Amino acid sequence: MGRYFVVRAYSMALTLLGLTVLIFLMLRLIPGTVVEQMIGADAVVSPEMVAQLRHFFGLDQPWWVQYSRWLGGLVQGDLGTSWRTGKPVIRLILERLPVTVELTLLAVGWALALGIAAGIVSAVRRDRAVDNVVRVGALLGLSVPVFWQGTMLILFFSIYLRWMPPVVWVDFLTDPRRNLTIMLLPVLCLGTASAANIARTTRACMLDVLRSEYIRTAAAKGLSHRAVVLGHALKNALIPIVTVAGLQMGILLGGTVVVEEVFTLPGVGRLVLWSIYQRDYPLTQSTILFVAILFMAINLAVDVLYGYLDPRIRYGD
């Protein structure tokens, strides 16, 4: 296990290094800089003032110098300082991280509960009406864009039902009921596509396992249908489901960018969009890198979980 972690840490470090280059260069491809955002499009500013601002933010230096400065700070654990707020980037991320983590965990829980249940029912009732309904619903869930679904949910609950959750964010510890009310629609919106993906994977895995000899043997011994499905079939079908669930958690982290903007949630995703609009390079670069690290950590946790779900999987020392 120790050697496995060393190899994974090495590969993750190389991936992050390549990602830093990609993030840095792609941001520079966006037209305009923080200087243009500050002075405005119609402002009359002397070239000397523009040059001073560019020098202040270090934009007059070659790109490799700017990249080396940012990378040197990352090596020392310094994510930088936001150009527009003057606050440390790590502080801004930690202030908004609880919102994104709560949204992601609730969405994953909703997706797992709905997806696994629907996949099991669809596999057990293969080629029946409920199976067709689940398959069509999964296809729709994967096809509908998140931003459109969120907009439709807002319009439906506000116009037709005349109910809207509070728009002012409240922390869970402050008022749990109000917090969950605010999170209801974003969680439904964010978790639907993941639930559809998990349902399709669960159905395919369950169908494969239910055709196995040991499942027929368990049924022949007189075990109840529920015990055979949940105690034997589902347990042996969990590996692919866990894989998809782990990937979906990472995808949901990225999906929070759209959902938080649609539902005006003060999370990390909305912070990224604001920083891109303001051309706040240190904040954008470090926040995206932080999310990438979370994604890699989730994948590593899923890989380690394999060994506990399947005794046949062992990582060499």
Please write the tens of the pLDDT for every residue from 5-57.
788 788 888 988 999 999 999 888 888 888 877 776 556 677 788 888 888 88
**How far is 141 from 145, CA to CA, in rounded Å?**
9
Among 5-14, 89-98, 133-142, 226-235, the least confident range: 226-235
pLDDT at 300: 81
Judge whether residue 317 has pLDDT over 60.
no
Confidence band, pLDDT 50/70/90 cuts, at residue 314 = low
> Which domains does the chain possess?
2-75 (no CATH), 96-309 (1.10.3720.10)
| Ordered DSSP codes for 116-171 | HHHHHHHHHTTTSHHHHHHHHHHHHHHHS-HHHHHHHHHHIIIIIS-----SS---
Please write the tens of the pLDDT for every residue from 91-127.
999 999 999 999 988 998 999 899 989 988 888 888 8
Most confident listed range (2-6, 38-42, 171-175, 310-314): 171-175
| pLDDT above 90: percentage of residues in the chain | 15
CA distances from 77 to 70, 88, 108, 223, 313 (A): 11, 12, 30, 56, 35
Q: Tell me what the mean pLDDT of segment 225-248 comes to.
A: 76
Please write the tens of the pLDDT for every residue from 183-215.
888 898 888 888 888 888 888 888 888 777 777
Paired tokens of 171: 């922390």
Among 101-105, 263-267, 304-308, the least confident range: 304-308
Q: Angle, nearest 10°, between helix axes 63-75 and 2-28? A: 150
Collapsed DSSP state (helix, strand, coil) of residue 283: helix
Q: Tell me what the mean pLDDT of segment 271-281 comes to.
A: 90
| Of 112, 121, 310, the residue nearest 230 (C-alpha) | 121
**To 5 degrees, how large is the angle CA 300–CA 275–CA 151?**
80
Q: Tell me what the mean pLDDT of segment 288-314 comes to.
A: 76
Judge whether residue 1 has pLDDT over 70.
no
Paired tokens of 36: 């243009």
**How far is 192 from 35, CA to CA, in rounded Å?**
40
| Of 164, 207, 106, the residue nearest 215 (C-alpha) | 207
pTM of the model: 0.84
**To 5 degrees, how large is the angle CA 202–CA 207–CA 210?**
115
